[in-house]
Amino acid sequence: MHVHSIRIGNPCAERKGFCINCSSHFMTVRPSIRSVAISRRFVRDLKDEEKVTSIVEDVLDCSQLEFHELHKFEKSMGGNLIFRAKKEKLHVVYGVDKKLRIIFLRAIKNFNEYKKFLMDRKEIMKLIISTHA
């Protein structure tokens, strides 16, 4: 899976008003994000390259049109910041690692499965490490 032409620029710098979706944690790291990594599990969860690209671009663009929640800070884990975006019943879990890459980890439709994943530190770290290859 190769996602093409993803814009990494910082949309918050171009907008005059405060980004209403961005948590202070995300606002702090957003200007420094220079690359994107997508876990194989994220792609497997969505099963559609166009959907993967669309969600990744919307999150990077801080697009509030489709999301109920965006950039909701969940936790810090080993120097990685973990966030969630919610679109209908889909929970998109992503993180920003120490190298200031945004890493898309999972896309989960079931809330209980999402909560279970969020508590699974080992699985989250495994997905983050797998994107370094």
Contacts of 101 (CB under 8 A, 6+ apart): 33, 34, 35, 36, 37, 131
Token pair, residue 61, equals 């663009």
Alpha carbons 108 and 89: distance in angstroms, whole number: 8
Total of domains in the chain: 1
Strand partners of residue 108: 91
pLDDT of residue 10: 56
* Percent share of the chain, pLDDT over 70: 79
60: domain range? 19-130
> Looking at residue 12, what is its pLDDT?
55
Q: What is the pLDDT of residue 57?
A: 87
Give residue 1's pLDDT band: very low, low, confident or very high (50, 70, 90): very low
Select from 110, 20, 32, 30 the least CA-distant residue to 65. Answer: 20
The answer to whether residue 1 is domain-embedded is: no
Reduced to 3 states (helix: H, G, I; strand: E, B; else coil), residue 48 is: coil
Asked if residue 106 is part of any domain, the answer here is yes
Give pLDDT tens digits for 34-83. 899 999 999 999 999 999 999 998 888 876 667 878 888 999 998 999 99
